[in-house]
Amino acid sequence: MNIVLLDPRQTESELWSISSKRQLEHLRQHVDVQVGDTLKVGIREGKRYLTQIVEITDQVIRIQSIQEESVPKKLPVTLIVALPRPKVLRRLIMDAVTIGVEKIILLHSYRVEKSYWQSPFLQQLDQYITLGLEQAGDTIAPKIELYKRFKPFVEDVLPTLISENYPAYVAHPYVDAKMPYAIEHGCSVIIGPEGGFIPYEIDLLIKNGCQGVSLGNRILRTETAISYVLGRLFSAS
Amino acid sequence: MNIVLLDPRQTESELWSISSKRQLEHLRQHVDVQVGDTLKVGIREGKRYLTQIVEITDQVIRIQSIQEESVPKKLPVTLIVALPRPKVLRRLIMDAVTIGVEKIILLHSYRVEKSYWQSPFLQQLDQYITLGLEQAGDTIAPKIELYKRFKPFVEDVLPTLISENYPAYVAHPYVDAKMPYAIEHGCSVIIGPEGGFIPYEIDLLIKNGCQGVSLGNRILRTETAISYVLGRLFSAS
């Protein structure tokens, strides 16, 4: 947690209040906060501030704003990823948010188990976003969309996301073209499930405007591939 | 698991044997292997082969080699990382190995809890390496070294790793120089603990030849930073 993210309602009085149990525990145990300390705070969907702690009780920490700080920019990228196993979902969303992905699309695919769509973890996406924002020092949540059917998404939605200055790259081990790097435009990045997309899916993606690109002959786990690819694509920024 | 990694002793007869419980379970449950199927296999510290399954029993799967396959190259990088929390260690080592890091150094730092060095997980590094190699399709383990004292490492060991064509970059949020990208030489990459290196440590690293470089104003978790940085540095390869 590199900033404490507050709901706008917590910042309506002159003194702002931190009252979430998770945040209070973190501040007590990991940061050992004291009255007078400064604290970086963000307002969800709003600005970021350096604040000072003016009161600490069991239930609440009260702070006052000292000065505004800048909110980090997002990367101009739509991450389209096959829905991962529930235990990977939290880390994946948190990392994508931390890195600054603008929009996340969770997609069904042949090798995604149907049961993943029933996972209670899918109800907690907003919590994972909060954790990612607090890690990054960001305040603006990315958009998240879920598509439970592969073909209608690829045929009807995906083409509307693609343009000359906003291509879509699908990571695929068996093509010659390499994943580009240091790009200076936005793009969509499509990452398959464990075991990869099946040939039918790759064909459909490419038929609908995606560029199949290789990351070399090492096969990375989904979560690892996401940060590796984003580090590569946006190395110039 | 994208290849099955065997000990050389399992490949001394004409038919090779897969007998590890973990590997047998994976092949039965996730791959549903049958006699006649092909299987990618690597020999630890040796070559990689496409093989065919000739016998499946409860205790063993026997295979015969069909043809040699190429082992992916390593990245010319030494990853020097503050010892992470035990539960992160497995993922971190596995990911670094999967991405192809040539050498990994686990280092103490002020913000590393001393208890981490007592963790039983540190006895399992070889297992984590195996998992990373099997994920990547690699057969050659990276070297791993552990340094429980920061200052002697930085003053006595680190300078011997640095040369004109093999610089050392330390990720540090508060400098102007950016982490380079698409480099065409080897390097060391130094990643701090959660909470970062303390100023004394950063100063000592820089005094001993490291370049402090920034990854932008988002603060990534250690594991995320590793794949993000490696994707960026080696984007041209």
Q: Give the 3-state secondary structure of chain B.
A: CCCEEECHHHHCCCCEEECCHHHHHHHHHHHCCCCCCEEEEEECCCCEEEEEEEEECCCCEEEEEEEEECCCCCEEEEEEEECCCHHHHHHHHHHHHHHCEEEEEEECCCCCCHHHHHCHHHHHHHHHHHHHHHHHCCCCCCEEEEECCHHHHHHHHHHHHCECCECEEEECCCCCCECCCCCCCCEEEEECCCCCCCHHHHHHHHHCCCEEEECCCCCCCHHHHHHHHHHHHCCCC
| pLDDT level of residue A174 (50, 70, 90 thresholds) | confident
* Per-residue model confidence as pLDDT tens digits over A59-87: 999 999 999 999 999 999 999 999 999 99
CB-based contact (8 Å) between A1 and chain B?
Answer: no
Alpha-carbon distance A68 to A42, whole Å?
Answer: 10
Q: Where in chain B is the domain with CATH 2.40.240.20?
A: 4-69
| pLDDT level of residue A178 (50, 70, 90 thresholds) | very high
Question: What residues of A are in contact with residue B138 (Cβ under 8 Å)?
Answer: 218
Query: What type of residue is A215?
Result: L
Sign of CA dihedral A153, A154, A158, A160: negative
CB-based contact (8 Å) between B232 and chain A?
Answer: yes
Alpha-carbon distance B34 to B52, whole Å?
Answer: 10
Alpha-carbon distance A144 to A125, whole Å?
Answer: 9
Q: Do B218 and A100 touch (CB under 8 A)?
A: yes
> The tokens 């082992």 sit on which residue?
B71
Question: What residues of A are in contact with residue B70 (Cβ under 8 Å)?
Answer: 217
Phi, psi of B236 (to 5 degrees): -85, -5
CB-based contact (8 Å) between B2 and chain A?
Answer: yes
Q: How high is the mean pLDDT of chain B?
A: 95
CB atoms within 10 A of CB B9: 9
Question: What residues of A are in contact with residue B1 (Cβ under 8 Å)?
Answer: none
| pLDDT level of residue A172 (50, 70, 90 thresholds) | confident
| Predicted local confidence at residue A85, as pLDDT | 94
Query: How far A73 CA lies from chain B's nearest CA (Å)?
Result: 9
* Per-residue model confidence as pLDDT tens digits over B7-17: 999 999 999 99
CB-based contact (8 Å) between A118 and chain B?
Answer: no
Sign of CA dihedral B159, B160, B161, B164: positive
Q: Do B230 and A228 touch (CB under 8 A)?
A: yes
Residues of chain B scoring pLDDT < 50: none
**Which of B72, B216, B217 comes nearest A218 by C-beta?**
B72
Q: Do A220 and B136 touch (CB under 8 A)?
A: yes
CB-based contact (8 Å) between A224 and chain B?
Answer: yes
Query: How far B158 CA lies from chain A's nearest CA (Å)?
Result: 26
Surface of A (6-65) touching B: CB under 8 A = none
pLDDT at A237 over 80: no
CB-based contact (8 Å) between B142 and chain A?
Answer: no
Q: Do A231 and B229 touch (CB under 8 A)?
A: yes
* Per-residue model confidence as pLDDT tens digits over B18-63: 999 999 999 988 888 999 999 999 999 999 999 999 999 999 999 9
| pLDDT level of residue A91 (50, 70, 90 thresholds) | very high
Contact A61, A17 (CB under 8 A): yes
Alpha-carbon distance A119 to A126, whole Å?
Answer: 15
Question: What residues of A are in contact with residue B79 (Cβ under 8 Å)?
Answer: none
> The tokens 């630890």 sit on which residue?
B44
Q: Reduce the DSSP state of residue A180 to 3 states and report it.
A: coil
Query: How far A156 CA lies from chain B's nearest CA (Å)?
Result: 32
Any idea which of A86-100, A128-142, A171-185, B124-138 has the lowest mean pLDDT?
A171-185
Alpha-carbon distance A182 to A147, whole Å?
Answer: 29
CATH number of this structure's domain A4-69: 2.40.240.20
Q: Do B220 and A99 touch (CB under 8 A)?
A: yes
* Per-residue model confidence as pLDDT tens digits over A13-54: 999 999 999 999 999 888 889 999 999 999 999 999 999 999
pLDDT at A173 over 80: no
CB-based contact (8 Å) between A134 and chain B?
Answer: no
Contact A214, B132 (CB under 8 A): no
Q: Which of B102, B135, B228, B237 to mutate to test the interface with A (most CBs of A within 10 A)?
A: B228
Alpha-carbon distance B179 to B169, whole Å?
Answer: 7
Question: What residues of A are in contact with residue B182 (Cβ under 8 Å)?
Answer: 181-182, 235
Q: How high is the mean pLDDT of chain A?
A: 95
Q: Which of A1, A27, A189, A227 to mutate to test the interface with B (most CBs of B within 10 A)?
A: A227
| Predicted local confidence at residue B15, as pLDDT | 95
Surface of A (175-214) touching B: CB under 8 A = 181-182
Which fold does the domain B75-233 belong to in CATH?
A: Alpha/beta knot (3.40.1280)
CB-based contact (8 Å) between B111 and chain A?
Answer: no
Q: Do A219 and B135 touch (CB under 8 A)?
A: yes
* Per-residue model confidence as pLDDT tens digits over A216-236: 889 999 999 999 999 999 998
Query: How far A93 CA lies from chain B's nearest CA (Å)?
Result: 12
Q: Where in chain A is the domain with CATH 3.40.1280.10?
A: 75-233
Surface of A (156-175) touching B: CB under 8 A = none
CB-based contact (8 Å) between A216 and chain B?
Answer: yes
| Predicted local confidence at residue A147, as pLDDT | 98
| Predicted local confidence at residue B146, as pLDDT | 98
**Which of B137, B218, B229 comes nearest A218 by C-beta?**
B137
